[in-house]
Amino acid sequence: MELNIEQIRKDFPILSQSVFGKPLVYLDNAATTQKPLSVIRKIEDIYSTINANVHRGVHHLSQLATESHEEARKTVQRYVNAASSGEIIFTSGTTDSINLVASGFCRSQCKPGDEIIITTMEHHSNIVPWQIQRDISGIEIKVVPLRENGEIRLEDIEELISSKTRLIAVAHVSNVLGTINPIAGIIRLGHNYNIPVLIDAAQSVQHLPIDVQALDCDFLAFSSHKMYGPTGVGILYGKERWLEKMPPYRGGGEMIAHVSFEKTTFNELPYKFEAGTPDYVGSTALGEAIRYIENWGLEKIHRYEDRLLQYATEQLQQIEGMQIIGTSPHKSSVISFLVGGIHPYDMGMLLDQLGIALRTGHHCAQPLMDALGIEGTLRASFAFYNTEEEVDVLVEGIQKVVKMF
Ligand code: C6P
């Protein structure tokens, strides 16, 4: 069975509205995706029926809330095929997940002068946490250069590896270029030198199947809100052997085994990293979002989005003065572009008047903009509820704006 896009669009109530009198064309899915009714209803359902703090009460509601939170952890475990649910840590998002690793890994595994490798195309979330650790732990950051078409190459990574390299941290899919990085090869390369690899999956986990055991991935970070789930929830997958070696990131309730004023011992995984009341409503709603994706099937979603990306690329290329930023043959759901010297912000504002939602600017990737020698781009990013008709509206909209200049 192919995807029934008409039915899928009905599942997302926000999509049927008008903006400035025009049907909404929502093409800012890399920033955040819209939510299906099943996720929205789940949130209402929890607050209406079982709301209670988790892991803390013997009473009935607390037991039910705890069960639904832990069930969601198992759903995430299954989705990325983690070996154990103890390897799935609930965080507040990709940013929080990477900060957790940067802090815990550098404190326990690095000494001054040790090196972390990242790439030119990283989001600020996979740059700044390492810079903060550079100031605290004295680590150094090495940056893999960008090749012509917006790709990174294994040989460029290997060139940077030294006896001081402790970790490679890389985006699976660039939020600006759309490039799908060869993470299986990067992980193999890292492991050849006994170096663990962190994958920032913020822009991939909703588009491409990921099997952390098949990849032998050490850390995987992603956000619920980019995969049709609620805001405020994220995931850090970490191999048990690394998580066991890392100290807690934050202190507080639930992450302890025993506390006295002299000494505190910590809880087992994953709770050691989950201080304070978790977002148990958000986690359960994320579980619902994963079920929604699984019901349609990630393979089918990927095939559909890939066709949409090809169609959009072909159509956009017809526009005079169009410059697509990021031309790797391996791309996912993101097209950044500039048109004929028009400032992205101006074009974005005018397209907004036509009901078309795009993102403009540096996309939290300023070092990448510097490497490309530009200030920013326009970015269209797709989800599986988008259609070729919406791509046509975008193309017509851009043509209208071009005529105005
Ligand atoms: N990129 C975008 O419009 P958070 O904000 O923690 O959910 O995700 C951060 C993040 C990390 N890595 C990558 C590759 C990302 O794309 C993002 C978020 C959004 O491109 C918001 S800046």
189 lines ligand 1 (CB under 6 A): no
Q: How far is the CA of 30 from the centre of ligand 1 (A)?
A: 7
Q: Are 77 and 287 in contact (CB under 8 A)?
A: no
Q: Are 287 and 75 in contact (CB under 8 A)?
A: yes
Q: Are 183 and 215 in contact (CB under 8 A)?
A: yes
Q: How far is the CA of 225 from the centre of ligand 1 (A)?
A: 10
200 lines ligand 1 (CB under 6 A): yes
User: What domains appear along the chain, each with residue ranges and CATH number?
Assistant: 5-30+297-404 (3.90.1150.10), 41-294 (3.40.640.10)
Nearest to 4 by CA among 393, 296, 207: 296
Distance CA 254, CA 237 (A): 19
Ligand 1, atom 1, lies closest to the CA of 31
Distance CA 205, CA 235 (A): 11
Nearest to 231 by CA among 121, 95, 332: 95
Q: How far is the CA of 48 from the centre of ligand 1 (A)?
A: 31
Q: What is the dihedral of CA 291, 292, 297, 300, to 10 degrees?
A: -160
DSSP states of 209-239: ---HHHHT-SEEEEEGGGTTS-TT-EEEEE-
pTM of the predicted model as reported, rounded to 2 decimal places: 0.98
Cis amide prior to 270 (ω within 30 degrees) = yes
Owner of token pair 């105005």: 404
Ligand 1, atom 5, lies closest to the CA of 95
94 lines ligand 1 (CB under 6 A): yes
Q: How far is CA 65 from the centre of its chain?
A: 26
175 lines ligand 1 (CB under 6 A): yes
Distance CA 133, CA 114 (A): 11
pLDDT for position 57:
80
What phi and psi, each to the nearest 5 degrees, are found at residue 145?
-70, 165
Nearest to 318 by CA among 304, 344, 337: 337
**Coil/strand/helix, residue 404:** helix
Q: Which of 98, 125, 222 to mutate to test the pocket of ligand 1 (most atoms within 8 A of CB)?
A: 125
Tens of pLDDT, residue by residue, the chain (405 residues): 689 999 999 999 999 999 999 999 999 999 999 999 999 999 999 999 999 999 888 899 999 999 999 999 999 999 999 999 999 999 999 999 999 999 999 999 999 999 999 999 999 999 999 999 999 999 999 999 999 899 999 999 999 999 999 999 999 999 999 999 999 999 999 999 999 999 999 999 999 999 999 999 999 999 999 999 999 999 999 999 999 999 999 999 999 999 999 999 999 999 999 999 999 999 999 999 999 999 999 999 999 999 999 999 999 999 999 999 999 999 999 999 999 999 999 999 999 999 999 999 999 999 999 999 999 999 999 999 999 999 999 999 999 999 999
Distance CA 386, CA 392 (A): 11
Instruction: Tell me, yes or no, if 364 is annotated catalytic.
Output: yes
pLDDT for position 1:
63
30 lines ligand 1 (CB under 6 A): yes
DSSP states of 283-337: HHHHHHHHHHHHHH-HHHHHHHHHHHHHHHHHHHHTSTTEEEE---SSB-SEEEE
